[in-house]
Structure 1
Amino acid sequence: MTSLPADTSAFMSAALESILYGFSILMFIGTVWALTYKRRMRDVNRPVAVVTVLLLLVSTAHIIMTIIHVENGLVKYRDTWPGGPAAFFTDITEETYVIKHALYISQTVLADGLMIYRCYALWRSVRVIIVPSLLWCAVVVTGIRAVYGTSQATSDPGDVFAIDVEKWIVAFIVLTLTSNLLCSGLLIYRIWNIERRVSKIRASNSTMMPIVRVLVDAAVLYTVMLLGLLICFLAENDGESVLTDIAVPVVSITFYMVIIRITTSCRHHLSTASTSRTTEEMEQRKMQQYQTKSLEVHISRCTQDDSASTYKVGDEDRPSTGIEEI
């Protein structure tokens, strides 16, 4: 299968990653705002906040290493590396190449761990996350083994598809894909089930379906990226280097968009519930005031008629008039 030249794919991946990294910065700012807006520090979801910051740090480190990698291949070692830039970018034992892929593994492990935490927070059951946790452990093991194998490749360091490490990389991709699909399915089913039961007794028009839609969108985006990466490895196409680089900011973007949507939706539900309670309390207060006022008018009329000894049982002085006004 025809592949991109190594130097061309390296430059392309750096350009695409830079664009996506800039967008992930905007999403990070939106996530911080959603987590902290009108909240005290003790009310902020700390595990989610910590992972949010770590995702930014890892993606920042990755884009820095990508720039250094490209600068080394195209400028620093352009005339001194045996075989030129093309050979430099195909050498999988090169230090910046190994560090970049180690950062990608770290980003994936963080994101998968956050997905498992969301499942536990929503289901409140350890049994639900047993299988995702086992998959997560397998992702960690295969990821570490893939990075180690890449750094120790000596038989053919210029071809990632010709060494033993390829099977570990494929296993890593399949496991993280399975883990994310399973966790996304658990989250979507749980929210849909809650929505189905609550909709029968809900007084307001608020709904949690937008959260389901954003979870589906994030799962589809991440799945398409991983499937593309898997296909490139199975087809032995060098486009895998481009997808691996852009996968780091894409992971951040997908999780930022989910956090923003969930946080804003929960705040909207709380605001709607608070408004409904306030409105109900005001209506009850008005009703009580109206009832008290009507009762006072009725008593004053009865007192006046008794003092004048002219109490009449007629349509104008009937006691039921005050009750009808309540």
Structure 2
Amino acid sequence: MATSRNDIASDTTAIISLACEWGLYGVSVLLYGATVRRLTSSRAPRVGRRMIALATVFFALSTAHAIANLIRLNEGFVNKRDSSFPNGSGPTAFFSDASQTYFVAINDIYSIQTLLADAVVVYRCYVVWQTVKAILFPVTLWLGLLSTVIGCLYQLHGPNQPGKEIFSISDWVNAFFAMSLFTNLISTSLLAFKIWTVNKEASKYRTTPGVLGPILRVIIDSGILYSVTLILTLITFISRSNSQFIFLDLLMPVMAISFYLVIIRISMARRDCSNSRDVIESKPPSRIDCQLRPVEVNIPQLTEHDVVETTDEVNGTALKSGHTPDPL
């Protein structure tokens, strides 16, 4: 591929993207271990096992992507460094060729993980709202994402065309990034709105620190982390810059990290809320405390089951909400 004077060479971006991906992958490995440790100590073993399985799938996909990218780098700079390509010779032409086996493989892995991550967000949105009507639009967007994945993979797995550039299927790729971005943003917004409304209603009766506020911040943070990286990828791809490969490779560990952080941070928020409530309840009851019982914020299997139940002991009503992993 012809590289503009101000653009980064494709072989240079391959080195930078691999270094960045493996750096974040190392962080994701540590977070995966912390996530499994917290889930194994869960009071709901069945739900904990299901979440551990999901976390392990994210870990396996991000590991496979990182290894495939490393092998691709070895192919381009060692095994095929002297090979000739239609667009030139050497590593620059190799890393510009979208028909290479390992390039197709890493895109397959990325597509699968994106579908899984967005499906989890949509599912959690349903768990929060407990109605199919609330997720009709997110599900439609996810189905659109699935169609763009099929289109992209069909083009990449089509007849072997040495020297084919990724920008030759730009329409499919642009649609893929856009559908993933909108699916994540809308699902996360629905989750955040529901939790905000529940927290606002519960704050009228709560006398102890609540956990819904920290959960809301976790959801927003995870959504921003993934969305910003995806937006940068989309911008660089539209501008036909080779730097888009750097952000594309960063998306794999970012999705896994976002998923792990939500579980870890919500578990910490639940622990802090429990400790704070224990301190308050250990104090001698006052006249006001005897007249108005505190609101009990019961979060059964919060980090695993995605359901937050806020019970208003004053009027006996129950409100339900939930949380999301990622961007997610």
User: TM-score, normalised on structure 2?
Assistant: 0.79
Of residues 157, 168, 173, the one that matches 2:163 is: 157
Question: Is the counterpart of residue 173 in structure 1 residue 173 in structure 2?
Answer: no
Aligned equivalent of 2:245: 241
Of residues 36, 40, 58, the one that matches 1:36 is: 40
Aligned equivalent of 2:233: 229
Ranges of 4+ aligned residues in structure 1 off by more than 6 Å: none
Matches within 5 A, 1:1-326: 2-39=6-43, 41-44=45-48, 46=50, 48-82=51-85, 83-152=89-158, 157-161=163-167, 163=168, 165-269=169-273, 275=278
Query: How much has 1:68 moved relative to structure 2?
Result: 0.4
Q: 1:168 is aligned with what amino acid? A: W
SS at match of 1:145: helix
Using a 3 Å threshold, how does the CA distance of structure 1 residues 155 and 44 change in structure 2: closer, same or farther? Answer: closer
Report Cα offsets for 1:184-205 as digits up to 9, x if no partner: 1011111111110111111312
Distance in 2 between residues matched to 1:97 and 1:156, nearest whole Å: 12
Preserved CA contact (<8 Å) 1:35 1:263: no
Distance in 2 between residues matched to 1:272 and 1:153, nearest whole Å: 62
Distance in 2 between residues matched to 1:155 and 1:31, nearest whole Å: 43
Using a 3 Å threshold, how does the CA distance of structure 1 residues 215 and 45 change in structure 2: closer, same or farther? Answer: farther
Distance in 2 between residues matched to 1:45 and 1:263, nearest whole Å: 16
Query: How much has 1:141 moved relative to structure 2?
Result: 1.5
Distance in 2 between residues matched to 1:11 and 1:264, nearest whole Å: 37
Preserved CA contact (<8 Å) 2:99 2:161: no
Q: 2:262 is aligned with what amino acid? A: V
Aligned equivalent of 1:306: none
Report Cα offsets for 1:201-257 as digits up to 9, x if no partner: 113123421111121111111111111111112111111111111110011111211
Report Cα offsets for 1:148-199 as digits up to 9, x if no partner: 21232666734222x2x21011001000000000011011111111110111
The unaligned stretches of length 5 or more in structure 1 are 284-326
Preserved CA contact (<8 Å) 2:99 2:162: no
Q: 1:226 is aligned with what amino acid? A: L
Larger radius of gyration: 1
Q: 1:71 is aligned with what amino acid? A: N
Q: 1:85 is aligned with what amino acid? A: P
Distance in 2 between residues matched to 1:232 and 1:265, nearest whole Å: 37
Q: 1:203 is aligned with what amino acid? A: T
**Higher strand proportion:** 2
Preserved CA contact (<8 Å) 1:91 1:157: yes
SS at match of 1:203: coil
Using a 3 Å threshold, how does the CA distance of structure 1 residues 45 and 194 change in structure 2: closer, same or farther? Answer: farther
SS at match of 2:95: helix
Query: How much has 1:40 moved relative to structure 2?
Result: 5.0
Distance in 2 between residues matched to 1:38 and 1:225, nearest whole Å: 32
Q: 2:196 is aligned with what amino acid? A: W
Distance in 2 between residues matched to 1:187 and 1:115, nearest whole Å: 9
Distance in 2 between residues matched to 1:35 and 1:182, nearest whole Å: 28
Query: How much has 1:43 moved relative to structure 2?
Result: 4.7
Query: How much has 1:3 moved relative to structure 2?
Result: 1.8
Report Cα offsets for 1:79-118 as digits up to 9, x if no partner: 2343111111111000000000111111111110111121
Distance in 1 between residues matched to 2:84 and 2:69, nearest whole Å: 18
The size of the alignment, in residue pairs, is 279
Distance in 2 between residues matched to 1:134 and 1:141, nearest whole Å: 11
Using a 3 Å threshold, how does the CA distance of structure 1 residues 259 and 198 change in structure 2: closer, same or farther? Answer: same
Distance in 2 between residues matched to 1:32 and 1:181, nearest whole Å: 27
Q: Provide the identity percentage.
A: 33
Using a 3 Å threshold, how does the CA distance of structure 1 residues 50 and 38 change in structure 2: closer, same or farther? Answer: closer
Query: How much has 1:137 moved relative to structure 2?
Result: 1.3
Distance in 2 between residues matched to 1:56 and 1:222, nearest whole Å: 17
Preserved CA contact (<8 Å) 2:25 2:62: yes
What is the RMSD computed on CA atoms of the aligned residues?
Answer: 2.3
The unaligned stretches of length 5 or more in structure 2 are 286-328
SS at match of 1:204: coil
Preserved CA contact (<8 Å) 2:13 2:243: yes
